[in-house]
Structure 1
């Protein structure tokens, strides 16, 4: 018999609401601003390399993305980037920070249904102020028994969160669109991982699906109830 679940964790960005599409729009704008200095493919490679270098310095989120764009612009122009371009990059990032929240299909129903039988926790990484803003605008805040905004998602982080908000990782499930951040570390902590793929995914979040009895994949949050029925 499957061990009884008591706690469900939900990722936020691109699991409950749209997020990556705004990064893609801004990145296209960035390429257009620097079209006289680098081809889009080369520029995107340089930007991704900068983001990878800077995660440890700036963490995840829009502010780190803005700084990585500025750094890349300085590099590809050999320190001759016009102030106008830097100003445009900052303006684009500020627009991202103020963009209205749009829930993904089935998000509200899935979280509300989970609250009927489980403790429900939002577990998201990124900039504190931005994540708090998005949660407040989403209208989902009152559904969660706990909210954890973390600098990274690791097995130790999940273990601590599920111990604090539930009965440990063994009786917890994490639901999210990132195999690397939501699924694999939750399983490594001893919990369950449910992968809900999104059409757009940041390159640094890609990972192979595990062959593991605690792994599930569903096409959208509308199918989460089917998974949870295993634990009825």
Structure 2
């Protein structure tokens, strides 16, 4: 199935280590903090809207999320939020940044095996400093020939990276948890993709069933299953 593969790209968050779970916990903490002003559902909706509005300004990652929480708190409270609450919001974000890096089950063994046969790279979105910190704490960096923290993961972004690294699309395999960011753009480049779902997905990364019709990619339930195919 993957006979021509020479380079394998891995997404980082929720593919190599746990990430989205911490955002869900932070959203819950934020909703409780602002419970005097709005319902939890409304707070979640407003925060998500603010995150999307800010993506072009702040990009992805915890720091942009922190700023979106601050802006949302000011709007939801009509400017009545107290400085102490802003401090609590910043603490939520800092606690996320300081979380230990929880490498997903089977990842070290899979990378150890694949690194003997393929060139491995990381292609991930997020804050540059935070992603490099997590990679260092994960003790996985020695498996990878190249680390690329991308602003976006659209076709043109992948194409730019592959061209820069002189990788032919047919020789490349991308592995990730997001159909929107890790699978569909790669397929459209006539490359190869494996989807390994995580138990929770950010709403912005979800795709409709119609977008997946007639798309050819492999779905596995764990990284360990990769060794059956590679």
Aligning the two structures, in what range does the TM-score lie when normalised by the shorter sequence?
Answer: over 0.9
Distance 2:215 2:89 in 1: 45
In 2, are the aligned partners of 1:9 and 1:172 still within 8 Å (CA)?
yes
Cα shift at 1:195:
0.5
In 1, are the aligned partners of 2:159 and 2:189 still within 8 Å (CA)?
yes
Name the counterpart of 1:202.
202
Gaps of 5+ in 2: none
Distance 2:111 2:65 in 1: 29
Distance 1:91 1:196 in 2: 32
Name the counterpart of 1:116.
116
In 2, are the aligned partners of 1:159 and 1:168 still within 8 Å (CA)?
no
In 1, are the aligned partners of 2:4 and 2:170 still within 8 Å (CA)?
no
Distance 2:25 2:215 in 1: 38
> Which residue among 211, 225, 232 is the counterpart of 2:227?
225
When residues 180 and 24 of structure 1 are mapped into structure 2, their CA distance, relative to the original with a 3 A threshold, is: same
Distance 1:72 1:167 in 2: 42
Distance 1:200 1:170 in 2: 30
> Which residue among 209, 216, 222 is the counterpart of 2:218?
216
CA-based RMSD: 1.5
CA offsets per residue over residues 93-120 of structure 1, 9 Å max, x none? 1111111101001111122222121111
When residues 59 and 2 of structure 1 are mapped into structure 2, their CA distance, relative to the original with a 3 A threshold, is: closer
TM-score normalised to structure 1 length: 0.94
Does residue 76 (structure 1) correspond to residue 76 (structure 2)? The answer is yes
In 1, are the aligned partners of 2:2 and 2:229 still within 8 Å (CA)?
no
Name the counterpart of 2:45.
45
Secondary structure of the residue that 1:28 maps to in structure 2? helix
Name the counterpart of 1:18.
18
Distance 2:65 2:206 in 1: 18
CA offsets per residue over residues 74-95 of structure 1, 9 Å max, x none? 1111111111111100111111
Cα shift at 1:208:
3.8
Distance 1:174 1:166 in 2: 15
When residues 149 and 189 of structure 1 are mapped into structure 2, their CA distance, relative to the original with a 3 A threshold, is: same
Distance 2:208 2:15 in 1: 18
Distance 2:152 2:73 in 1: 27
Secondary structure of the residue that 1:102 maps to in structure 2? coil
In 1, are the aligned partners of 2:187 and 2:215 still within 8 Å (CA)?
no
Name the counterpart of 2:151.
151
Gaps of 5+ in 1: none
Alignment of 1:93-108 (within 5 A): 93-108=93-108
In 2, are the aligned partners of 1:121 and 1:165 still within 8 Å (CA)?
no
Q: Number of paired residues?
A: 228
In 2, are the aligned partners of 1:163 and 1:169 still within 8 Å (CA)?
no
Does residue 128 (structure 1) correspond to residue 128 (structure 2)? The answer is yes
Does residue 9 (structure 1) correspond to residue 29 (structure 2)? The answer is no
When residues 170 and 42 of structure 1 are mapped into structure 2, their CA distance, relative to the original with a 3 A threshold, is: same
